[in-house]
Amino acid sequence: MSPQGPYDLYSVFMLTHPNSTESYIPTPSNVARWKYHVDLHEARQMYMDNFKPYETEHAQWAITLMDSRRIDSFDQFPPNTKRIYIDIANRFPGVQVYACGSRVKGDWIVPDCGDDIKEMRKALNKAEKQSDYDFVIPSFTTEERYEALRLLPYGYDLLIFGVPDDEMIPIPMWDFDKLPDDQHQIAIDHFNAQNWGALMAMHNLYQLSPAQFCCQDAPVIKWFKWAIETGKIKSHVKGEVSEHATV
C-alpha cells in the first residue's frame, strides 16, 4: 500500500534507497521527488514479480526484428526523433547528453506501428504503451538529475540508473569552434542587446548545431550565454554579459 503522509513517504523512500543520506525536509519538491521514486520502485518490483523470461527459441524472431531497428549513430534516427532529442539536449547547454532506451535498442513503439512491432514487444515482455524519449547524462550528480526530472515535460525520461555504454548515443552538441573569431564580439554585442533573432541567424549561418532556428529563442539564449561565460566566445572589449539576458 502506498504511503499516506510526507513522513511515511520519506521513510519508504529511505528504505528503498538505502544509500541516500537525505534528511527529512518535506518541501513540495522533495515530497514530489520521493513519491516519484517510491512509485518507480513499486512499479519495477511489480514487473519483476510478474516477469516470465521468454524462451529464446520462441522469441528469436523478435530479437532479430529489434536488432534490425537498432540505432548505432545519431544520424540513423528518424527526422522527428532527431528533432526531439536535439530539443532535449538544448535544455542542458555545455553538457553531453546521450539518447538511450527503446529508441536506441530497436524495440520502440508508436501509435502507427504495425502488428509485427506489437507482437515483437509482447514476445519480449515489453509494455504496449508508446515509447518515451529516454536519455542519460552520466556527468550529472544525483541532485542535478533530480532537478532535471522535476522540470522535464511528459515523454522526456531522464534515466537515473546505469545504462550500458553500447546503448548510449551521443546527441550532437553546439560547436562554437565554427564561429569565426571576428564574429565573437558581434555575438556578445547581440547577446547583451538581446537581439535573439540576430543570434539565431548567426547560429544558422555557421551551422553551430544540427538544428535550424527561426522563432525558438530559449536554446539560443542558453547556449550563447554558456559560450560567453565559459570563454568559448571571447570578448575583445572589457564588459560583462547583461543580467537581463538570463533565462
Cβ atoms of 11 and 31 closer than 8 Å:
no
Is 140 exposed, middle or buried, given 0-12, 13-18 or 19+ CB atoms closer than 10 A?
Answer: middle
Q: Are strands 98-99 and 133-136 parallel, antiparallel or unpaired?
A: antiparallel
Model confidence at 104, pLDDT cuts 50, 70, 90, reads very high
Query: Coil, strand or helix: which one is 166?
Result: helix
* Cell numbers found for residue 132: 518515451
Query: Coil, strand or helix: which one is 19?
Result: coil
User: Which residue(s) pair with 98 in the sheet?
Assistant: 136, 170
Domain-wise residue ranges, the chain: 6-50, 56-170, 176-245
- 150 vs 241 pLDDT, higher one: 150
- Asked whether the whole model's pTM tops 0.75, one would answer no
Across 5-9, 34-38, 196-200, least confident range: 34-38
Q: How far apart are CA 207 and CA 210, in angstroms?
A: 7
- 167 vs 20 pLDDT, higher one: 167
Instruction: Give the closest residue to 91 by CA, choosing from 22, 174, 159.
Output: 174
Across 56-60, 98-102, 152-156, 211-215, least confident range: 56-60
Q: How far apart are CA 206 and CA 175, in angstroms?
A: 10
CB count, 10 Å around CB of 239?
Answer: 11
Q: Is the dihedral of CA 104, 109, 113, 115 positive or negative?
A: positive
Q: Give me the pLDDT at residue 228, please.
A: 97
